[in-house]
Amino acid sequence: MTSETLKYQRKELELKALLEITQAINENKTSSVLLNIFKFTCLVHLNIRSMILYVADQEGYAQSIAHGIKAKVPDKIPLDSVKDDKESGALNIIVEEGYSFAELETYLPVYHKDKMLAILFLKKKDDTLELDLDFTQALTNILVVALENKRFARRQLEQERLKREVEIASNVQRMLFPANLPEGGKLKAKVTYIPHSTVGGDYYDLIRKSEDEVFFCIADVSGKGMPAALLMSNFQAALRTLLRSTSDLKMIVEQLNYTIFENTNGEKFITFFLGYYNYRTRELSYINAGHNAPILCWEGEMRSEKLGAGTTILGAFEALPFMEVGHRAHLKGFSIHLYTDGLTESFNEAGEEYGDERFEKYIKTKLCVDPEIFHKDFFEELDRFSNGKERSDDITLMSLRFQ
């Protein structure tokens, strides 16, 4: 057989190999199918007996194909174990003791835009027959770029899915908050909510059960994103259902705790403060479930106090280990400031925390201030303290003034 005939046959086999792999790519075959087609194409149509293909991922180079190898070779090659020089083609791979590529006679690094995407190790079937290494490298490049494109497409789809989840969670969260707050008369309310990201873990609510009865609450769920938004959605639905049937704070909090524990098996928790004021009896009742203690301001007496009585966080235990319902009587003109820990855990450039004590001192200078003015002045104060330092958590402040 003449050299021209052999050359023609080799080119014909190479063309078959190219057609098979490109057809599989055009048909959008899965990554595993593409790898199998590439392997058998190389073994059938090209002068290759043994081969290993390592494809790059975030951690290094993972073994994707291995055929005809008797020696022990690594499943993974760390990134820092591979030193390559694209210009010279030199490749130095450091492997652990016991591993060896000595059985394979040739290696082909595969590049795309200066990045090494893969390494193909191979051994010829017949030493007397030629193997076109340039073609083999080009064919491998076609495969690896197709695999990289598939991985990129999967990543894009995952990012789109996460984006949709965030949008849904954000919409769910917006629906949790009360659409309107009372702005005068017997009650004036002001809320400032600053989420750290698109979806936060804070929740606040104000429910007027009757002309004389007002419930108000603030909460902070562990975690962020869609799981936190869904948990808070269930929490709000349970709270509003309970409020329609009872005004017993102890029963409400116990049922909320049971609902959270049942839904999360103790893996998530919520800090929560629930208050109830009756205009007719002029009595305030409350339960603080592990939340930052709201601050009650007695306007007539010009003093303030923290509302800490209650129980532990909700969702950590199937049954709450203790419970205390706080009461304050003979109230007429007073304000309450409820907040989440993102407010007091704001830091300045020196790493100093704003802190509860600083917030309490600030409130004592603004005991009888209208909620609108209080929020405007306070957040100017907080901005001066932070001086542009990026916040690390959601911030919620709800101020209520009962008259």
Distance of CA 398 to CAs 215, 218, 340, Å? 13, 8, 9
- Phi and psi dihedrals of 229, rounded to 5? -65, -40
Q: Three-state DSSP class for 347?
A: strand
Task: Spell 356-367 as b/e; 16+ CB within 10 A means b.
Answer: beebbebbeebb
pLDDT at 189: 93
Q: Which of 233, 338, 356 is nearest to 277 (CA)?
A: 338
Q: Three-state DSSP class for 221?
A: strand
What are the pLDDT digits (tens) for 369-394? 899 999 999 999 999 998 878 777 78
pLDDT at 258: 93
Q: Which of 316, 340, 323, 357 is nearest to 391 (CA)?
A: 340
Structure token digits, residue 13: 């086999």
pLDDT at 314: 94
pLDDT at 95: 79
**Does the pTM exceed 0.95?**
no
Confirm if 84 and 90 have CB atoms less than 8 A apart. Answer: yes
- Phi and psi dihedrals of 206, rounded to 5? -145, 120
Cα–Cα distance measured from residue 22 to residue 213, given in angstroms and rounded to the nearest whole number: 73
- Burial of residue 388 (CB within 10 Å: 0-12, 13-18, 19+) is exposed
Confirm if 335 and 401 have CB atoms less than 8 A apart. Answer: yes
| Cβ neighbour number for residue 133 with a 10 Å cutoff | 12
| Cβ neighbour number for residue 390 with a 10 Å cutoff | 8
Cα–Cα distance measured from residue 219 to residue 398, given in angstroms and rounded to the nearest whole number: 11
Single-letter amino acid code for the residue at 187: L
Cα–Cα distance measured from residue 61 to residue 175, given in angstroms and rounded to the nearest whole number: 47
Cα–Cα distance measured from residue 14 to residue 24, given in angstroms and rounded to the nearest whole number: 16
Identify each DSSP E strand in 75-129 by its residue range: 76-78, 82-85, 90-93, 106-112, 115-124
Distance of CA 172 to CAs 39, 83, 89, 207, 229, Å? 49, 50, 55, 19, 7
pLDDT at 225: 66
Characterise 98 by phi-psi region: left (phi > 0), alpha (psi -120 to 50), beta (else).
left
pLDDT at 283: 95
Identify each DSSP E strand in 125-269 by its residue range: 183-184, 187-194, 202-208, 213-221
Q: Which of 259, 275, 389 is nearest to 337 (CA)?
A: 275
Q: What is the CA radius of gyration of the chain?
A: 34
pLDDT tens-digit profile, the chain (403 residues): 566 666 667 677 777 878 888 888 888 888 889 899 889 888 888 888 999 999 988 888 989 999 988 888 888 988 888 887 777 767 788 878 888 888 888 888 888 777 888 889 999 888 888 888 888 888 888 888 888 888 888 888 888 877 777 677 667 666 667 777 777 778 999 999 887 766 667 889 999 888 889 999 999 988 776 777 778 888 888 898 898 888 999 999 999 999 999 888 888 899 999 999 999 999 999 999 999 999 999 877 778 899 999 999 999 999 999 999 999 998 888 999 999 998 998 888 888 999 999 999 999 888 878 999 999 999 999 999 988 787 777 889 999 999 8
